[in-house]
Amino acid sequence: MRSTFKVLFYLKRNKDKDQKVVPVMGRITVNGSIAQFSAKLSVPEMLWEVSGGRAKGR
């Protein structure tokens, strides 16, 4: 039997557009079962790279 495993990081944006720093959330999927968690990190929204699911920086 073949199993699937995926990890996704995303920003938890609120309706307030004036947020400078937003929390990072994570989602793990194993065989269709989903678990979501907080990474307990916050990053500036302008540094987040959506396609890579990570923050840009030095």
Q: Which two tokens stand for residue 30?
A: 């194993």
Q: What pTM was computed for the model? A: 0.81
Counting residues of the chain whose pLDDT is more than 70, the rounded percentage is 97
- What pLDDT does 12 receive? 92
Mean pLDDT taken over the chain: 90
- Going by C-alpha positions, the residue among 29, 42, 39, 34 that lies closest to residue 9 is 39
- Tens digits of residue pLDDT in 37-48: 999 999 998 999
pLDDT for residue 22 is more than 70: yes
- Give me 18's structure tokens: 């004036």
